[in-house]
Amino acid sequence: MKILRQKHFEKTSDTNKGHRGEIFSLVGPLFLWMLLFLALPLVYVIIISFLEKGIYGGVQMIFTLENYTALWNPTYGKVIWRSIVLAFWTSLICLLISYPFAFILSKFSKKYQGFCILLIMLPFWINQLIRLNGWSNILRDSGTINTILLKLGIISEPITMMYTDGATLFGMVYALLPFMVLPLNNSISKLDYSLIEAAHDLGASRISTFFRIILPLTLPGIFAGTIQVFIPSLDAFYIADVMGGGNSTLLGNLIKDQFMAARNWPSGAAFSVILILFTLIVLKCYTKVGNLEDLA
């Protein structure tokens, strides 16, 4: 998982192409690094996904396509679909929260902007699992919110918030929000304010200016942010584990379970390959749109 995450960072930051000479001088160590930590594990995963499962875990060196054909199963299909839907909602909610926030932020002075971004980043230096468990303590049936509401007599039965799809969604949004705010802020703060004035000058109302000028010009940030939220939310099994309990199995959980619980490495590897392929497709779409952005 870690490797995969790393990979998509590489990809997205690649859009800022530097000078060729600089790249060549960096390419040696980078190449070695990529080979060791990216290419080799990837090849390893791909190979395993075509082998038979060993009797007590591990693998047998026998070629098979069974790991992939086994994926052609309605139960798995449902999980994958659920993951995609959840990733979609996570991205959308993150976007709807972050866009106005980033926009307001961009109006502040540079110094204040940096401070606000620091405030956003601050919680993320604490381990994510600890923070998610914190939320669990606040939201569960005997948690802070329910206790207070019960004591005040506003409710008579605790409201079930934890271990629902809603809780998983909340956890996802909470965990991934900064990955949306940062690229959006980057894109919006680069927006030349005189373009907005020019649009007003030419008779465009605020709404029209938003759709014809601001939105198209911040599209790169929207895409970058969406990618950076969408892909991690596909495989963030720990969030589904902590917030959703056993109730919300996602693609990430499935992979984890294949490796850990079922000790079926080849099957887990096949899932991972599918997830990687899916990620690549999304990224490909992104660069397509990104390129179109440059052309359009």
Partner 1 sequence: MIKTDREPIVRLSGVTKDFGKSEVLKHIDLDVYEGEFLTLLGPSGCGKTTTLRIIAGFETPSRGCVYLEQADVTALAPYKRNVNTVFQSYALFPHMNVFDNVAFGLVEKKVPKPEIKERVEKMLDLVQLKNFGKRKPHQMSGGQRQRVAIARALVNNPKVLLLDEPLGALDLKLRKQMQMELKHLQKQLGITFVYVTHDQEEALTMSDRIAVMNNGVIEQIGTAQEIYERPKTKFVASFIGESNIIEASVTGFDGGLIELTAENGVVHGRGSGFVQDEMIYISIRPENTRYSFEPVENFRLRGIVKEHIYVGSIIKTVVALPNGQRLRLNQHPHSELPAIGSAVTVYWDMDKAVIMHTAEDTLYDLIEDALLNRPDLAVKQGRRAEGGKSF
Which residue among 27, 62, 198, 277 contacts partner 1 (CB under 8 A)?
198
Asked if 109 touches partner 1 (CB under 8 A), the answer is no
What single-letter amino acid sits at 41?
Answer: P
Closest approach of partner 1 to the CB of residue 286, in Å:
17
The phi, psi pair for 47, rounded to 5°, reads: -60, -50
- Cα→Cα distances 63→50, 210, 249, 266, 268, Å: 6, 56, 29, 11, 16
Helices marked H in the chain — which ranges? 2-13, 20-34, 40-49, 66-69, 74-107, 110-121, 128-139, 144-151, 165-189, 193-201, 206-209, 215-235, 237-244, 251-260, 265-295
Closest approach of partner 1 to the CB of residue 94, in Å:
24
Which residue among 85, 195, 261, 277 contacts partner 1 (CB under 8 A)?
195
Asked if 200 touches partner 1 (CB under 8 A), the answer is yes
Q: Do 47 and 259 meet the contact criterion of CB atoms below 8 Å apart? A: no
Which residue among 192, 277, 280, 291 contacts partner 1 (CB under 8 A)?
192
| Closest to partner 1 by CB, 109 or 205 | 205
Asked if 204 touches partner 1 (CB under 8 A), the answer is yes
Q: For the beta carbon of residue 41, count every other beta carbon within 10 angstroms.
A: 13
Using alpha carbons, select from 238, 229, 233, 230 the residue that is nearest to residue 257: 238
| Closest to partner 1 by CB, 150 or 219 | 219
Near partner 1 in 207-246, by CB under 8 A: 208, 212-213, 216-217
- Cα→Cα distances 30→14, 41, 101, 291, Å: 13, 16, 36, 25
Quote the Cα angle for 125-94-256, to 5°: 65
Using CB under 8 A, which of the segments 66-74, 134-142, 199-207, 247-255 binds partner 1? 199-207
Asked if 14 touches partner 1 (CB under 8 A), the answer is no
Which residue among 69, 197, 247, 261 contacts partner 1 (CB under 8 A)?
197
Asked if 296 touches partner 1 (CB under 8 A), the answer is yes
Total residues interacting with partner 1, rule: CB under 8 A: 19
Contact residues toward partner 1 (CB under 8 A) are: 192, 194-195, 197-205, 208, 212-213, 216-217, 293, 296
